[in-house]
A and B are shown apart, each in its own frame.
Chain A
Amino acid sequence: MQVYLPIAEMSVDALLLLGIGFGVGWLSGLFGVGGGFLLTPLLILIGIPAPVAVASGANQTLGASVSGLIAQWRRGNVDPRMGGVLLAGGFLGSGLGVLLFAWLRRLGQVDLAVSVFYVVILGSVGGLMVRESVRAILRRRRQGGPARLHAHLWMHGLPFKLRFRKSRLYISVIPPLLVGFGIGVLSAMMGVGGGFMLVPAMIYLLGMPTAVVIGTSLFQVVFVAANVTLLQAVQTGSVDIVLTLLLLVGGVAGAQFGASMGSRLRGEETRALLGLLVLGVALSLLWGLVVTPESEFAVGPMPL
């Protein structure tokens, strides 16, 4: 069943899109991440132009994260103050990211840049996740005993300290601002919400308690994704609402199954599996960059 995507200017099998949405939604329900990092490469793989895949991916992430945010907010697991600081950085970052994206598009290097970003970021995040979770599993096997909540690092000496009550932290606003900024740039470039990078950054860099991490990251993701959607719609005009909604329909259903399955897995195992998945995506994208292309030439529309 073909559906014509008005912005991508091509028709795609609607069932394929629903299936992709379902699969990604299932995984995101299972692992508690937005799933944008899987979605955008998959869309590029089925032939959606990279700009449309990135912009619509951000829009889909927004929709997928809203339901999670509502649930977390109800349970009081969102630190609005920390979320606000992250968001301030995120808005600046995504603004810069969209400009960078438009510039790369004019240069004709946007597909390469998106792929390289994915390979580098997913490769390192996936590698770290696998290493950390394998260590945790081994530690648990040997004997119990939780690690310290967080170490005191150089960054705790920075000025502009602020008290984050929900997170039980008294730290400088500079690290969360920087984290938010970096994630904002990446989310504009990669069409992801950044949850899979934000969660580790909040736990390991900022030392936030795990209970509020998911809710607060969703808070940031929803607003940054909304910002990216708007900026991409204005700047590059490549948000395809038909594509987004088809993916969301599949995704909402898939997340339902994933979430119920995820509650039966242990934390470390889940993280190890997610890390492997992230690494797998990175490797397959790397393969796409390295393998000799079928045609030596590529033809595309003239960028504005």
Chain B
Amino acid sequence: MSPWRPAWPRPAPLLFLGALLFALPGPLPAWPAMAQAPVAPPPAPSAAPSAAPPRRPPAVAQLLPPPPPAPPGQPAAARPPLVAELSQAQVAITTGFSGTEVLVFGATERLLGAGGDEVLVIAQGPAQPMVVRRKIRVLGLWLNGASARFWRVPGYYFLTGTRPLAEMLSREERATKRIGLGALPLEAAGNQSQEFREALLELKQDAGLWHEEGTMHIAGARLFRASLPLPATVPTGDYLVQVLLVRDGRVVARQELSFRVGRAGTAARIADVAKVQPVVYGLLCILLAALAGWLGSVLFRRG
């Protein structure tokens, strides 16, 4: 269970302190959020295509209110045009977490590919307030100068499609539906210069937290699959995954899925105590550090 297993020959003190390190958190509690069911859409009564191995009953994609209303005589499509599912509803950040992947997969009613239907997958992490600062040189030293504050910056953004985004949707469609990194609604306070926005985009992409990628995997012209890479620095919170069905350059159907990234086990406990009871946590840190030092002194004397 414990990922912490040193591989080098270690003297007794290390073993002892190592044991102390893992004795601290106690039994791993069930992560509280696990108990609540994830946002699972109600089971679909209609027979959905059982192409993807569904762990939960797959959800029916809601048809977007289509810009031209459907002809009155024609009933709504019996078969959903799009079904999608996630490989997991939670990502647990444990003490050994070093990044992971969440799989988005699904199927379409019509054939996928050029000329046919196309699929876009957009995943967004919880919004965080961020500050972008420009470094300036004063007396030969680099320091933080003017800044722009962005109140709602997605901590994670991932977009992929069956074709590159620019080929699937026109610029206007992307702008009105706010699809793609270029169309992210980032309202800034402070310095309004476009440079700060661009710097934010660039730095987030460098950190591996924002991606806009090429093509996803298609099988049999009906099944699609995309993996969302979550790096070790991924922020915790609720993630929203939108799967969009694109037909003739328009978004015609959409399904929303969600998963949650949370700390689990030891990491969760430590972070909770530190946040909820900082005084207790501070005292605990002092005690533990002193205890480790004292143990060291005991072992010194013997040695």
Q: A6-B270, A245-B17 are in contact. Are A59 and B130 (CB under 8 A)?
A: no
Partner-contacting stretch, out of A86-94, A200-208, A286-294: A286-294
Q: Tell which of B93, B131, B288 touches A241, judged by Cβ atoms closer than 8 Å.
A: B288
Which residues on the A side are within 8 Å of B292 (C-beta)? 63, 245, 248-249, 252
Q: Is A284 an interface residue (CB 8 A)?
A: no
A-B contact count (CB 8 A): 219
Q: Tell which of B133, B286, B289, B300 touches A300, judged by Cβ atoms closer than 8 Å.
A: B133
Q: A71-B297, A233-B279 are in contact. Are A108 and B267 (CB under 8 A)?
A: no
Q: Is A160 an interface residue (CB 8 A)?
A: no
Q: Is A220 an interface residue (CB 8 A)?
A: no
Which residues on the B side are within 8 Å of A6 (C-beta)? 95, 263, 266-268, 270-271, 274
Q: A4-B96, A10-B232 are in contact. Are A295 and B199 (CB under 8 A)?
A: yes
Which residues on the A side are within 8 Å of B281 (C-beta)? 233, 239, 241
Chain A interface SS verdict (over half): helix
Which residues on the B side are within 8 Å of A7 (C-beta)? 270-271, 274
Q: Is A99 an interface residue (CB 8 A)?
A: no
Q: Is B275 an interface residue (CB 8 A)?
A: yes
User: Chain B: which residue is nearest A110 at the CB level?
Assistant: B144
How many angstroms between the C-alpha atoms of A242 and B94 in the bound complex?
12
Which residues on the A side are within 8 Å of B95 (C-beta)? 3-4, 6, 242
How many angstroms between the C-alpha atoms of A63 and B135 in the bound complex?
37
Q: Tell which of B13, B199, B233, B301 touches A296, judged by Cβ atoms closer than 8 Å.
A: B199
Instruction: Tell me if A4 and B93 are in contact (CB < 8 A).
Output: yes
Instruction: Tell me if A293 and B13 are in contact (CB < 8 A).
Output: no
Q: How far is the CB of A78 from chain B (nearest CB, A)?
A: 14
Partner-contacting stretch, out of B3-11, B172-180, B220-228: B3-11
Instruction: Tell me if B293 and A112 are in contact (CB < 8 A).
Output: no
Q: How far is the CB of B281 from chain A (nearest CB, A)?
A: 5
Which residues on the B side are within 8 Å of A233 (C-beta)? 274, 278-279, 281-282, 285
User: Chain A: which residue is nearest B22 at the CB level?
Assistant: A245
Q: Is B132 an interface residue (CB 8 A)?
A: yes
Instruction: Tell me if B199 and A244 are in contact (CB < 8 A).
Output: no
User: Chain A: which residue is nearest B132 at the CB level?
Assistant: A299
Instruction: Tell me if A297 and B296 are in contact (CB < 8 A).
Output: no
Instruction: Tell me if B143 and A252 are in contact (CB < 8 A).
Output: no
Per-position contact with A for B114-135: 1 when CB-CB < 8 Å, else 0? 0000000000000011111111
Which residues on the B side are within 8 Å of A20 (C-beta)? none
A residues 227-280 in Cβ contact with B at 8 Å: 229-234, 237, 239, 241-242, 244-246, 248-249, 252-253, 255-256, 259
- Interface residues of chain B, those whose CB is within 8 Å of chain A, are 3-7, 10-11, 13-14, 17-18, 20-21, 24, 93-99, 128-135, 140-144, 147, 149, 195-196, 199-200, 202-204, 206, 232-233, 235-236, 263, 266-268, 270-271, 274-275, 278-279, 281-286, 288-290, 292-297, 299-301, 303
Q: Would you mind naming 22 contact pairs between A and B with Cβ atoms under 8 Å apart?
A: A3-B96, A4-B267, A59-B286, A60-B289, A229-B285, A230-B279, A241-B284, A244-B285, A245-B21, A248-B296, A249-B18, A252-B293, A252-B295, A256-B13, A289-B141, A297-B133, A297-B134, A297-B199, A298-B133, A299-B130, A301-B131, A302-B149
